[in-house]
A and B are shown apart, each in its own frame.
Chain A
Amino acid sequence: MLALTKKDLSLLLVVAVITLAAPIILNPFPSGSGMSQFNAGYPDLMQRFVIYGIFAIGFNILFGLTGYLSFGHAAFLGVGSYSAVWMFKLLSLNVIPAIMLSVVVAGLFSVLIGYVSLRRSGIYFSILTLAFAQMSFNLAYSVLTPLTNGETGLQLSLNDPRILDGASAATYPNLFGAQMNDSTTIALGNWSFTFSVGYYLCAILLLLAFYISIRIFRSPFGMMLRAVKSNQQRMNYTGLNTRPYTLAAFVISGMYAGLAGGLLASMDPLAGADRMQWTASGEVVLMTILGGAGTLLGPVLGAGFIKYFENIFSKINEGVLQAWFAFMPDGLQDFFVAIIYPFVGKGWHLTLGLMFMLVVIFLPGGLVEGGQRIGRMFRRKSRSETPDGKTTPAE
């Protein structure tokens, strides 16, 4: 089905079930309970999981397959956001034209940057992309103020022409009237689950993006991209021109970034220059490596992981910690709080950094490799248990 092998199809189905049921799965704790701060099932955060998942899937097509490490992909994310907001201002608050324009503009922009940067490989390529992204950031921040509204960021305003929208049209980005911030909350006992329009739009686009990525991985084109990573010399002497292959991968991943940028702007219609900053480019690199570069699922996992940390761990402040260790005697309580405090709240980067180091050192294949190892351990155990059971005398 869908021209996928059984294994890929089941992977896609698992991802589909998890994303579509995420508002339930991510809210395992009853609201109001002490653990409810670990719930991630609110629309704002779930949208970010999925949007950055799309961003990382695209980045992985470039980095995971060809090995070209771009440090400037946030530029395409930013360009996508600006394009979408302009579309909202000028044409219509319907998200479809906005998202389409983000993908196209980011694609064109990445042709330009890719064409120049791909003349070099390795560290020089990374530096070139970084330079281009910083240039874009500075342009957006100051020089191109008429286009980007500089420091303040591009926002919607009441005087926007919006030529396709009538007077009665929705005032928030919408899909044929269904506003992105519309949501329904269903309460089940102590639990409450929020289903939002915006999240489901993002989720469906994530599934589409994931499906296309599987198809690319399994195509002759994907095989050529892995060949580029493996041995460019052999490629050239086998009659293959590596340049268009790498450029195509670069543009595809740029378009994914543009889609992510357009979605960010659709969920919250403003675009700021800081979305293009190098830290944002670095973040997608971290996501991809943490999850497992070159694997299908890795980037999505990595994106979810980092966004969860960023939003949940950073909320644990000293008061919360004090409450956790309240059962201990005073001295011990202060001691534990003092030790853990630097790693949570504002210090969540420290935990993330440590985890990143552990993953890179012990699991070069990322979280996906970790999962595979655990899976193998269980399989080995169950296999060795069966013959053991037969040979050892009954107890």
Chain B
Amino acid sequence: MSDSPVITQGAMEAAHHEHPPYQRHHFETIGQQNDATNFAMWLFLLTEIMFFGGLFTAYLILRNWYYPAFVAASHQLNIVWGSANTAVLITSSFTMAMGVWCAETRRKSGLVLCLVLTFLLGLVFLGIKSIEYSEKIEKHHVPGFHYSIQSFVDPASDPVAAAYGDKPLALDMARKTELYFFLYFAMTGMHALHMIIGIAILGFMIFRARAGAYTMGHVTFVENFGLYWHFVDIVWIFLFPLLYLISRHQ
């Protein structure tokens, strides 16, 4: 080893290659650049999991403590809108995945179409979510703002609760439903915030895609955004059963 020229001698040919315009100066190869940005995106999603993890932990603990309140409160969620939204979101993940495929196979119009569809489906999701939120506002089920426990101490007065045959909760337990709705708003709100950010980026991407930016062979940005979009989708895949489904028949 001792007589091999070292350290100052390097990968000369790599350093003097012609680079594609999208390769950043500090990467040796475009493969290295793609690897690095992809890996960074996965790590970022890991931090996102930890961020949502705090809320899931709170949900786990509080649900264990105040089980009857969580059951009664979850009956107030609208299963029809919730299911519709799940379908919308899964479809948007499909269109996004198709978009990535179009970018990889350099189909510009296909990519623009897929991105526009994803964008629209994202908006539909938020629209449905706002309908659900307004239902909660009407029934005073927003924690902190004039929260009302009427539906839980007197279920007969509330058609939804009555339809489920809910039994009246003791005052003490009924007040814990506020925590359920806090978690509902915090978790779906944080999820919606991620959707809004995603939709904003999608809008930017549609313009860039129309200019052909992602169909010249460099698709990392579309791929990484796809990862983000699927991540936001998966968060919902956990939220939907936890908030809407698991107490349906109790």
| A in complex with B | no
Chain A positions near chain B (C-beta within 8 angstroms): none
